[in-house]
Amino acid sequence: MPLPVRDPAATATTVTAPRLTAGRGELSGAVVEALRTGGPPRSDPAAAARADPWSEDLQLALYLLYELHYRGFEDVDDAREWDPDLLRLRRAMEDRFLDALRDELTDGPRTVEDAFAPLLVEPVDLSGSLSHRLATDGELRHLREYAALRSLYHLKEADPHVWVVPRLTGEAKASMVAVEYDEFGAGRAERVHARLFADLMDDLGLDHSYGHYLEHAPAPLLATVNLMSLLGLHRARRGALVGHFACVEITSSPGSRRLAKAMRRCGAGAAAEHFYAEHVEADAVHEQVVRHGVVGGLLADEPGLEPDIAFGCAATVLLEDRLADHLRDAWDRGQSALRRPLD
Protein backbone atom coordinates (compact mmCIF):
# COMPACT_ATOMS: atom_id res chain seq x y z
CA MET A 1 0.00 0.00 0.00
CA PRO A 2 1.66 3.29 -1.07
CA LEU A 3 2.30 5.99 1.47
CA PRO A 4 -0.41 8.68 1.34
CA VAL A 5 0.83 11.92 -0.21
CA ARG A 6 1.12 14.60 2.43
CA ASP A 7 2.21 18.22 2.47
CA PRO A 8 5.75 18.31 3.97
CA ALA A 9 4.77 21.40 5.95
CA ALA A 10 1.90 19.47 7.50
CA THR A 11 4.19 16.66 8.66
CA ALA A 12 6.93 18.91 10.03
CA THR A 13 7.24 18.68 13.80
CA THR A 14 8.73 20.87 16.48
CA VAL A 15 10.50 18.89 19.18
CA THR A 16 8.95 19.88 22.47
CA ALA A 17 8.94 18.24 25.87
CA PRO A 18 5.55 17.21 27.29
CA ARG A 19 4.11 18.79 30.41
CA LEU A 20 4.16 16.98 33.72
CA THR A 21 0.91 15.29 34.68
CA ALA A 22 -0.61 15.15 38.16
CA GLY A 23 0.37 12.31 40.48
CA ARG A 24 -1.90 9.37 41.25
CA GLY A 25 -0.68 8.53 44.75
CA GLU A 26 2.25 8.81 47.16
CA LEU A 27 5.03 7.68 44.82
CA SER A 28 3.98 9.47 41.65
CA GLY A 29 3.01 12.55 43.64
CA ALA A 30 6.48 12.63 45.19
CA VAL A 31 8.13 12.27 41.78
CA VAL A 32 6.02 15.06 40.27
CA GLU A 33 6.78 17.37 43.20
CA ALA A 34 10.50 16.61 43.02
CA LEU A 35 10.62 17.29 39.29
CA ARG A 36 8.68 20.53 39.63
CA THR A 37 10.64 21.92 42.57
CA GLY A 38 14.09 20.53 41.78
CA GLY A 39 14.29 18.97 45.24
CA PRO A 40 14.60 15.35 46.39
CA PRO A 41 11.53 13.07 46.36
CA ARG A 42 9.67 12.98 49.68
CA SER A 43 9.05 9.22 49.28
CA ASP A 44 11.88 6.83 50.01
CA PRO A 45 12.72 3.40 48.54
CA ALA A 46 10.98 1.68 51.48
CA ALA A 47 7.67 3.16 50.32
CA ALA A 48 8.24 1.71 46.85
CA ALA A 49 8.93 -1.73 48.35
CA ARG A 50 5.47 -1.64 49.99
CA ALA A 51 3.58 -0.32 46.96
CA ASP A 52 1.20 -2.28 44.76
CA PRO A 53 3.34 -3.07 41.68
CA TRP A 54 0.31 -2.96 39.36
CA SER A 55 -1.09 0.29 40.73
CA GLU A 56 -1.65 3.55 38.88
CA ASP A 57 0.68 5.16 41.41
CA LEU A 58 3.78 2.99 40.93
CA GLN A 59 3.38 2.60 37.18
CA LEU A 60 2.98 6.35 36.63
CA ALA A 61 5.95 7.12 38.87
CA LEU A 62 8.11 4.71 36.87
CA TYR A 63 6.89 6.14 33.58
CA LEU A 64 7.72 9.69 34.63
CA LEU A 65 11.24 8.74 35.70
CA TYR A 66 11.86 6.79 32.50
CA GLU A 67 10.71 9.72 30.38
CA LEU A 68 13.68 11.70 31.72
CA HIS A 69 15.78 9.46 29.43
CA TYR A 70 13.66 10.26 26.37
CA ARG A 71 12.40 13.84 25.94
CA GLY A 72 12.11 14.91 29.55
CA PHE A 73 9.43 17.36 30.65
CA GLU A 74 8.68 21.01 30.17
CA ASP A 75 10.38 23.17 32.83
CA VAL A 76 12.27 20.17 34.29
CA ASP A 77 16.07 20.39 34.32
CA ASP A 78 17.60 17.78 31.99
CA ALA A 79 20.17 17.06 34.70
CA ARG A 80 17.48 15.33 36.75
CA GLU A 81 17.90 12.33 34.42
CA TRP A 82 20.80 11.17 36.59
CA ASP A 83 19.70 12.57 39.96
CA PRO A 84 20.89 9.99 42.55
CA ASP A 85 17.83 10.36 44.81
CA LEU A 86 15.45 9.79 41.91
CA LEU A 87 17.52 6.84 40.68
CA ARG A 88 17.44 5.19 44.12
CA LEU A 89 13.66 5.54 44.22
CA ARG A 90 13.36 4.26 40.66
CA ARG A 91 15.51 1.22 41.42
CA ALA A 92 13.26 0.26 44.32
CA MET A 93 10.17 0.54 42.10
CA GLU A 94 11.87 -1.49 39.37
CA ASP A 95 12.67 -4.26 41.84
CA ARG A 96 9.03 -4.26 42.99
CA PHE A 97 7.79 -4.47 39.40
CA LEU A 98 10.24 -7.21 38.42
CA ASP A 99 9.39 -9.26 41.51
CA ALA A 100 5.69 -9.04 40.59
CA LEU A 101 6.44 -10.21 37.05
CA ARG A 102 8.51 -13.12 38.32
CA ASP A 103 5.74 -14.11 40.74
CA GLU A 104 3.24 -14.16 37.87
CA LEU A 105 5.64 -16.19 35.74
CA THR A 106 6.76 -18.74 38.33
CA ASP A 107 5.80 -21.53 35.94
CA GLY A 108 6.81 -19.54 32.85
CA PRO A 109 9.12 -20.73 30.06
CA ARG A 110 12.82 -21.15 30.66
CA THR A 111 13.94 -21.83 27.08
CA VAL A 112 13.63 -19.85 23.88
CA GLU A 113 11.77 -22.71 22.21
CA ASP A 114 9.18 -22.90 24.99
CA ALA A 115 8.72 -19.13 25.00
CA PHE A 116 8.32 -18.57 21.27
CA ALA A 117 6.69 -21.80 20.04
CA PRO A 118 3.13 -20.71 21.02
CA LEU A 119 3.60 -17.42 19.18
CA LEU A 120 4.60 -18.99 15.88
CA VAL A 121 1.22 -20.64 15.29
CA GLU A 122 -1.93 -18.61 14.66
CA PRO A 123 -4.58 -19.87 17.11
CA VAL A 124 -7.75 -21.37 15.70
CA ASP A 125 -9.85 -19.52 18.27
CA LEU A 126 -9.20 -15.79 18.02
CA SER A 127 -11.98 -14.78 20.41
CA GLY A 128 -9.41 -13.67 22.97
CA SER A 129 -7.50 -11.53 20.48
CA LEU A 130 -7.98 -7.80 20.87
CA SER A 131 -6.94 -7.11 17.27
CA HIS A 132 -9.49 -9.70 16.08
CA ARG A 133 -12.21 -7.98 18.06
CA LEU A 134 -11.31 -4.60 16.59
CA ALA A 135 -11.20 -6.08 13.09
CA THR A 136 -14.58 -7.79 13.33
CA ASP A 137 -16.80 -5.52 15.39
CA GLY A 138 -14.72 -2.67 16.76
CA GLU A 139 -16.08 0.85 16.37
CA LEU A 140 -14.26 4.04 15.47
CA ARG A 141 -14.41 5.15 19.11
CA HIS A 142 -12.57 1.96 20.10
CA LEU A 143 -9.88 2.57 17.49
CA ARG A 144 -9.41 6.14 18.70
CA GLU A 145 -8.99 5.00 22.31
CA TYR A 146 -6.62 2.23 21.26
CA ALA A 147 -4.48 4.64 19.22
CA ALA A 148 -4.43 7.27 21.98
CA LEU A 149 -3.10 4.70 24.45
CA ARG A 150 -0.59 3.13 22.07
CA SER A 151 0.76 6.58 21.23
CA LEU A 152 2.76 6.53 24.46
CA TYR A 153 4.96 3.93 22.81
CA HIS A 154 4.47 4.34 19.07
CA LEU A 155 5.50 8.01 19.09
CA LYS A 156 8.90 6.74 20.25
CA GLU A 157 8.67 3.39 18.47
CA ALA A 158 11.89 1.34 18.63
CA ASP A 159 13.69 3.91 20.79
CA PRO A 160 13.83 1.69 23.92
CA HIS A 161 15.30 -1.17 21.91
CA VAL A 162 18.21 0.88 20.56
CA TRP A 163 19.80 0.80 24.00
CA VAL A 164 20.63 -2.88 23.50
CA VAL A 165 22.76 -2.29 20.38
CA PRO A 166 26.08 -1.42 22.13
CA ARG A 167 25.53 -4.43 24.40
CA LEU A 168 25.48 -6.90 21.50
CA THR A 169 28.26 -8.17 19.26
CA GLY A 170 28.67 -9.87 15.91
CA GLU A 171 25.60 -11.30 14.21
CA ALA A 172 23.23 -10.23 16.99
CA LYS A 173 24.34 -6.58 16.68
CA ALA A 174 24.31 -6.54 12.87
CA SER A 175 20.84 -8.09 12.71
CA MET A 176 19.44 -5.79 15.39
CA VAL A 177 20.70 -2.72 13.55
CA ALA A 178 19.24 -4.01 10.27
CA VAL A 179 15.78 -4.23 11.82
CA GLU A 180 16.07 -0.89 13.59
CA TYR A 181 17.12 0.76 10.32
CA ASP A 182 13.69 -0.13 8.93
CA GLU A 183 11.95 1.04 12.10
CA PHE A 184 13.58 4.44 11.66
CA GLY A 185 12.47 4.84 8.06
CA ALA A 186 15.50 3.41 6.24
CA GLY A 187 16.98 6.89 5.99
CA ARG A 188 13.73 8.68 5.12
CA ALA A 189 12.24 10.89 7.84
CA GLU A 190 8.70 10.65 6.46
CA ARG A 191 8.82 6.85 6.80
CA VAL A 192 10.02 6.70 10.42
CA HIS A 193 7.41 4.54 12.13
CA ALA A 194 6.80 7.12 14.84
CA ARG A 195 6.01 9.64 12.07
CA LEU A 196 3.64 7.15 10.41
CA PHE A 197 1.83 6.73 13.73
CA ALA A 198 1.49 10.49 14.08
CA ASP A 199 -0.15 10.48 10.64
CA LEU A 200 -2.48 7.72 11.85
CA MET A 201 -3.46 9.88 14.80
CA ASP A 202 -4.18 12.80 12.48
CA ASP A 203 -6.58 10.62 10.49
CA LEU A 204 -8.35 9.64 13.71
CA GLY A 205 -8.69 13.23 14.87
CA LEU A 206 -6.25 12.76 17.75
CA ASP A 207 -3.51 15.04 19.03
CA HIS A 208 -0.16 13.58 17.97
CA SER A 209 1.89 15.67 20.41
CA TYR A 210 4.40 13.47 22.20
CA GLY A 211 3.00 12.24 25.54
CA HIS A 212 -0.30 14.09 25.09
CA TYR A 213 -2.44 11.18 26.30
CA LEU A 214 -0.47 10.30 29.42
CA GLU A 215 -3.26 11.53 31.71
CA HIS A 216 -5.69 9.23 29.86
CA ALA A 217 -3.52 6.12 30.17
CA PRO A 218 -4.35 3.51 32.85
CA ALA A 219 -1.78 1.38 34.65
CA PRO A 220 -2.06 -1.67 32.33
CA LEU A 221 -0.92 0.46 29.40
CA LEU A 222 1.85 2.20 31.37
CA ALA A 223 3.19 -1.20 32.43
CA THR A 224 3.68 -2.30 28.79
CA VAL A 225 5.75 0.81 28.05
CA ASN A 226 7.62 0.69 31.35
CA LEU A 227 8.75 -2.88 30.73
CA MET A 228 10.73 -2.02 27.62
CA SER A 229 12.26 1.07 29.23
CA LEU A 230 13.28 -0.94 32.30
CA LEU A 231 14.88 -3.67 30.19
CA GLY A 232 16.54 -1.21 27.84
CA LEU A 233 18.17 0.93 30.51
CA HIS A 234 19.95 -1.95 32.25
CA ARG A 235 22.78 -3.85 30.58
CA ALA A 236 22.03 -6.77 32.90
CA ARG A 237 18.59 -7.05 31.23
CA ARG A 238 19.90 -7.21 27.64
CA GLY A 239 18.72 -10.79 27.19
CA ALA A 240 15.22 -9.93 28.41
CA LEU A 241 15.07 -6.90 26.10
CA VAL A 242 15.97 -9.11 23.13
CA GLY A 243 13.20 -11.48 24.24
CA HIS A 244 10.76 -8.57 24.41
CA PHE A 245 11.80 -7.28 20.99
CA ALA A 246 11.52 -10.73 19.41
CA CYS A 247 8.06 -11.25 20.92
CA VAL A 248 6.86 -7.93 19.49
CA GLU A 249 8.20 -8.70 16.02
CA ILE A 250 6.85 -12.26 15.93
CA THR A 251 3.34 -11.22 16.90
CA SER A 252 3.22 -7.94 14.97
CA SER A 253 2.45 -9.09 11.43
CA PRO A 254 -0.81 -11.01 12.02
CA GLY A 255 -2.02 -8.46 14.55
CA SER A 256 -1.21 -5.58 12.20
CA ARG A 257 -3.12 -7.28 9.39
CA ARG A 258 -6.22 -7.36 11.57
CA LEU A 259 -5.75 -3.76 12.71
CA ALA A 260 -5.34 -2.57 9.11
CA LYS A 261 -8.65 -4.31 8.37
CA ALA A 262 -10.24 -2.58 11.36
CA MET A 263 -9.05 0.84 10.18
CA ARG A 264 -10.32 0.14 6.65
CA ARG A 265 -13.68 -1.19 7.84
CA CYS A 266 -14.29 1.83 10.06
CA GLY A 267 -13.17 4.34 7.43
CA ALA A 268 -10.39 5.66 9.64
CA GLY A 269 -8.37 7.02 6.71
CA ALA A 270 -5.52 6.11 4.38
CA ALA A 271 -2.71 6.98 6.80
CA ALA A 272 -4.38 5.08 9.64
CA GLU A 273 -4.62 1.96 7.51
CA HIS A 274 -1.12 2.45 6.10
CA PHE A 275 0.60 2.36 9.48
CA TYR A 276 -0.54 -1.20 10.11
CA ALA A 277 -0.27 -2.31 6.48
CA GLU A 278 3.38 -1.23 6.58
CA HIS A 279 3.95 -3.46 9.62
CA VAL A 280 2.35 -6.50 7.98
CA GLU A 281 5.08 -6.71 5.35
CA ALA A 282 8.00 -5.30 7.30
CA ASP A 283 7.52 -7.35 10.45
CA ALA A 284 7.03 -10.61 8.56
CA VAL A 285 10.62 -10.14 7.36
CA HIS A 286 11.80 -8.79 10.71
CA GLU A 287 10.52 -11.89 12.49
CA GLN A 288 12.98 -14.11 10.64
CA VAL A 289 15.89 -11.71 11.11
CA VAL A 290 15.17 -11.33 14.83
CA ARG A 291 14.67 -15.03 15.54
CA HIS A 292 17.70 -16.26 13.66
CA GLY A 293 20.02 -13.26 13.68
CA VAL A 294 19.36 -11.40 16.93
CA VAL A 295 18.17 -14.20 19.22
CA GLY A 296 20.28 -16.88 17.56
CA GLY A 297 23.32 -14.63 17.50
CA LEU A 298 22.95 -13.67 21.15
CA LEU A 299 22.55 -17.30 22.20
CA ALA A 300 25.68 -18.22 20.27
CA ASP A 301 27.64 -15.48 22.02
CA GLU A 302 26.07 -15.76 25.49
CA PRO A 303 24.13 -19.03 25.91
CA GLY A 304 23.66 -18.33 29.61
CA LEU A 305 21.16 -15.57 28.70
CA GLU A 306 18.55 -18.02 27.38
CA PRO A 307 16.36 -17.88 30.54
CA ASP A 308 16.45 -14.08 30.36
CA ILE A 309 15.35 -14.09 26.72
CA ALA A 310 12.47 -16.43 27.61
CA PHE A 311 11.51 -14.19 30.54
CA GLY A 312 11.43 -11.09 28.35
CA CYS A 313 9.10 -12.80 25.92
CA ALA A 314 6.80 -14.19 28.62
CA ALA A 315 6.63 -10.88 30.48
CA THR A 316 5.63 -9.12 27.26
CA VAL A 317 2.81 -11.59 26.63
CA LEU A 318 1.64 -11.26 30.25
CA LEU A 319 1.42 -7.47 30.14
CA GLU A 320 -0.20 -7.38 26.71
CA ASP A 321 -2.84 -9.84 27.94
CA ARG A 322 -3.50 -7.68 31.00
CA LEU A 323 -3.96 -4.63 28.78
CA ALA A 324 -6.26 -6.50 26.40
CA ASP A 325 -8.38 -7.67 29.34
CA HIS A 326 -8.66 -4.10 30.60
CA LEU A 327 -9.79 -2.79 27.20
CA ARG A 328 -12.28 -5.59 26.57
CA ASP A 329 -13.79 -5.34 30.04
CA ALA A 330 -14.38 -1.60 29.67
CA TRP A 331 -15.78 -1.86 26.16
CA ASP A 332 -18.03 -4.78 27.10
CA ARG A 333 -19.58 -2.51 29.73
CA GLY A 334 -20.06 0.21 27.14
CA GLN A 335 -17.52 2.42 28.94
CA SER A 336 -14.33 4.17 27.96
CA ALA A 337 -11.13 2.21 28.62
CA LEU A 338 -9.31 5.47 29.37
CA ARG A 339 -8.97 7.16 32.72
CA ARG A 340 -10.89 10.02 31.21
CA PRO A 341 -12.74 10.04 27.87
CA LEU A 342 -11.31 11.65 24.76
CA ASP A 343 -12.55 15.05 23.73
For the beta carbon of residue 218, count every other beta carbon within 10 angstroms.
19
The pLDDT-based confidence of 175 (bands split at 50, 70, 90) is very high
pLDDT tens digits along 19-36: 999 999 999 999 999 999
pLDDT tens digits along 279-302: 887 767 788 899 999 999 999 999
152 and 92 fall within a common domain: no
182 and 305 fall within a common domain: yes
Tell me, yes or no, whether 263 lies in a domain: yes
> Which residue, 84, 104, 124, sits at the end of a domain?
104
Give the per-residue pLDDT at 285.
78
Please give the torsion angle defined by the CA atoms of residues 27, 32, 34 and 38, in that order, rounded to the nearest 10 degrees. 170
The pLDDT-based confidence of 16 (bands split at 50, 70, 90) is confident
* DSSP class per residue in 118-143: GGGS--S--TT-HHHHHHHH--HHHH
Three-class SS state of 68: coil
Distance CA 188, CA 334 (A): 41
323 and 192 fall within a common domain: yes
79 and 167 fall within a common domain: no
Phi-psi region of 266 (alpha: psi -120 to 50; beta: other; left: phi over 0): alpha
Tell me, yes or no, whether 12 lies in a domain: no
207 and 136 fall within a common domain: yes
Tell me, yes or no, whether 305 lies in a domain: yes
- 4 has pLDDT over 60: no
Tell me, yes or no, whether 143 lies in a domain: yes
172 and 305 fall within a common domain: yes
66 and 123 fall within a common domain: no
202 and 232 fall within a common domain: yes
Mean pLDDT of the chain, nearest integer: 93
Predicted TM-score (pTM) of the model is 0.93
Q: Which of these ranges, 59-63, 76-80, 129-133, has the smallest mean pLDDT?
A: 129-133
Helical H segments across the chain, by residue range: 8-11, 26-37, 45-50, 56-67, 84-104, 112-116, 130-137, 140-154, 159-162, 170-183, 193-203, 219-233, 238-265, 270-288, 296-301, 306-332
Tell me, yes or no, whether 278 lies in a domain: yes
Task: For residue 96, give its domain range.
Answer: 17-104
Percent of the chain clearing pLDDT 70 (strictly above): 95
Distance CA 83, CA 52 (A): 24
pLDDT tens digits along 103-153: 999 999 999 999 999 998 877 667 778 999 999 999 999 999 999 999 999
Kindly give, in sequence order, each residue whose CB lies less than 8 Å from that of residue 36, ignoring residues fewer than 6 positions away. Answer: 20, 75, 76
Tell me, yes or no, whether 24 lies in a domain: yes
> Which residue, 104, 130, 156, sits at the end of a domain?
104
Tell me, yes or no, whether 7 lies in a domain: no
131 and 64 fall within a common domain: no
95 and 218 fall within a common domain: no
pLDDT tens digits along 203-262: 999 999 999 999 999 999 999 999 999 999 999 999 999 999 999 999 988 999 999 999
Q: What CATH number should be reported for the domain holding residue 130? A: 1.20.910.10
Number of domains in the chain: 2
> Which residue, 104, 126, 147, sits at the end of a domain?
104
User: What is the rounded average pLDDT of the residues 5-13?
Assistant: 48
Tell me, yes or no, whether 132 lies in a domain: yes
124 and 227 fall within a common domain: yes
* DSSP class per residue in 145-212: HHHHHHHHHHTTTTHHHHTTGGG--HHHHHHHHHHHHHHTGGG-GGG-HHHHHHHHHHHTT---STTT
- 1 has pLDDT over 60: no
155 and 238 fall within a common domain: yes
**Is 298 within 8 Å of 172 (Cβ atoms)?**
yes
